[in-house]
Amino acid sequence: MAIYGIGTDIVQVSRIAAVLERTGGRFAEKVLGPDELRVFHARRARSEARGIAFLATRFSAKEAFSKAIGLGMHWPMTWRALQTLNQPSGEPYVVASGELADWLAARGITARVTVSDERDYAVSFVIAETNLPAAAPPVPRSSS
C-alpha cells in the first residue's frame, strides 16, 4: 500500500452546538449518514453533550477524509456519502457509499481514521492509502 493522501481537521465543539441549535437539528441530518444519525440520536438522548461531541467528531472526520483524498467537499465527496462508525472495540473506521464508494474503488483507495474529542475540541486524522501503482511523474519540458 502507498499513501494516497493525509488529512486532519479540528473543530470547536461549541460551533457545532451553535449550528445544531440554529438549524433546529437539521444540521445533523444534513451531515450524518443513516448509521451515524442513529448513534447520534441515541447518544444525545442520554446526554446532550455526548450527542454534540459525537456530531463534532463525525464532522471533523468527514473534513479530514475529504482532504486526504484531495477533493475537499466536492463531488463525489458528500457529507452523507461517508460514515465513520466504530468496531465493537471502539476503533473507528470509514464506510463510503454511492458514487464516492465507486470513485474510491476505481483508485484502489482505502482509509484509516482516528478521532478524538475533549470538552472544547474534536480532532480527526485520516490516512488514505492506495493499492494501485503510483502514476509516473510528469516529464520535464525542454526549454528550447
Per the annotation, where are the binding residues for Mg(2+)?
Answer: 9, 63
Binding residues: 9, 63
Residue labelled with grid coordinates 448509521: 35
